[in-house]
Amino acid sequence: MKLKRSASLVGAVAIGAMMLTACGSDANVESAAGTDSAATCEGKSPLTGEGSSAQQNAMSNFTSIYSGVCAGKAVEYTTSGSGNGRTQFVAGLVDFAGSDSAIKEDQAAEAAVRCENNPAWNLPLVFGPVAIAYNLEGVDTVVLTPDVAAKMFTGAITTWNDPAIAALNEGVDLPATAVTPVYRSDSSGTSDNFQRFLSAAAPEAWTLDHSSDWAGGVGEGANGSSGVAQAVAATPGSITYVEKGFADQESLGTASVDFGNGPVELSSETAGAAIDTAEFSGEGNDLVIDIDALYASNAADTYPLVLATYEIVCSAGYDADTSAAVKSFLLSAANEGQQGLEEAGYVPLPENFKERLVTAINAIA
């Protein structure tokens, strides 16, 4: 299937987007150069993708390493939000989409048409712990529960010294500063996942629907993961939901969360322990994670508020050059591309999980 890129559509989604192109000068490439690669280095160049800003830094890592192991091959990834990425993929304007939510229902049916009547697969390649991040001068440590967090994001709790927060933080001098929620103003898989988490973990406090659009109704909006992190850094008393790497970049406070078995600090270890418990709701090589079950879990010393970010691809229906390039790039990302992810705030793929993912990638026709 050949479709021409519409100039007007490209212009609309490119506003504020950031294009990441594989570049052999990146430091990550130097660390990977000379190592064994899972990539075949076959297929077209450049390969194109678009979507999730949550995986922006991971994708930069993947593309840089890929160009280091496959000389002359490039991957161009535009960060414009999960919703835009899925739309561009369905329209046949990019080779794969990055999305923080699995493609589903009517859009999945449209994607199957784009894939020459073959289903699209959701392949979870990037796991980013979602921090409940805040800016509160003089307060380095805050404990929240899902219930209290939900009430802060709906406006039921309006000051940081509210009794419900104080009860979780004995001995901490909490100021009477107003709580200012900051949410994603763009269509965002992070918003969808955070609202799903609140629905699963705090169903009495969060009774709103979840979708890629924020339903909270209070606070201030900002565009993209970097946008909400920067807005919180500039706004005393503010709180947001954002991937750990972006919170770290802005030196934001990160709440420990009591999911039901004591406060859990967000770390690669606690998030990785949660990923190890994840189950799949998709069939065969469509690796959709049962995220609601994950978010409702309260196992000790695990941090289940983890964003599973998918690469949405055609299971079949690509031309030969595109299929080869998609498989080559994803195999590299799932293997040597995992180097450096933890330092960027992500959780490297657990070994058993990686084996299941690689099997699916190899099955792309």
Number of domains in the chain: 2
Q: Could you tell me if 170 and 124 lie in one domain?
A: no
Least confident range of 16-20, 112-116, 184-188: 16-20
Looking at the fold, whether 139 and 219 belong to one and the same domain comes out as yes
Residue 2 lies in a domain: no
Pairing of strands 143-144, 256-258: parallel
The torsion region of residue 86 among left (phi > 0), alpha (psi -120 to 50) and beta comes to alpha
Query: Average pLDDT for residues 319-343, to the nearest whole number?
Result: 96
Q: In this predicted model, what pLDDT tens digit does every residue of 247-259 receive, in sequence order?
A: 999 999 999 999 9
CA distance 140 to 116: 53
Same domain as 90, residue 193: no
| DSSP one-letter string for 297-328 | ---TT----EEEEEEEEESS-S-HHHHHHHHH
The H or E element containing residue 21 is: strand 18-21
Looking at the domain assignment, is residue 261 inside a domain? Answer: yes
Per the structure, the complete domain to which residue 195 belongs is given by: 130-274
pLDDT score recorded for residue 19: 54
Whether 11 shows a pLDDT value over 70: the answer reads no
Whether residue 297 lies inside any domain: the answer is no
What does the pLDDT look like over 274-308, one tens digit per residue? 988 888 998 999 999 999 999 999 999 999 999 89
Co-location of 42 and 147 in the same domain: no
- Whether residue 303 lies inside any domain: the answer is no
Domain stops at, among 274, 300, 321:
274
The per-residue DSSP string of 235-257 comes to: STTEEEEEEHHHHHHTT-EE-EE
Task: Please tell me whether residues 138 and 242 are part of one structural domain.
Answer: yes
Say if CB 253 and CB 132 are below 8 A apart: no
CB neighbours of 355 closer than 8 A, spacing ≥ 6?
A: none
The answer to whether residues 116 and 160 belong to one domain is no
pLDDT tens-digit readout, 343-356: 888 999 988 889 99
| Contact residues for 8 (Cβ-Cβ < 8 A; gap 6+) | none
Q: Residue 4 above 50 pLDDT?
A: no
Supply the pLDDT for residue 21.
Answer: 54
pLDDT for position 70: 98
Mean pLDDT, to the nearest integer, of 152-176?
98
CATH number at residue 334: 3.40.190.10
Same domain, 178 and 264: yes
More confident position, 34 or 152:
152
User: Residue range 328-347: average pLDDT?
Assistant: 94
- Asked if 158 and 123 sit in the same domain, the reply is no
How far is C-alpha 48 from the chain's CA centre? 18
Instruction: Pinpoint the alpha helices (H) of the chain.
Output: 7-14, 27-32, 56-69, 82-90, 105-114, 146-154, 163-168, 189-201, 224-233, 244-249, 268-275, 291-295, 320-334, 351-362
Assess whether pLDDT exceeds 70 at residue 34.
Answer: no
Task: Find tokens 């100039």 and name the residue.
Answer: 7
Res. 12: pLDDT tops 80: no
| Token pair recorded at residue 39 | 């990539």
Judge whether 144 and 255 are in contact, CB under 8 Å.
Answer: yes
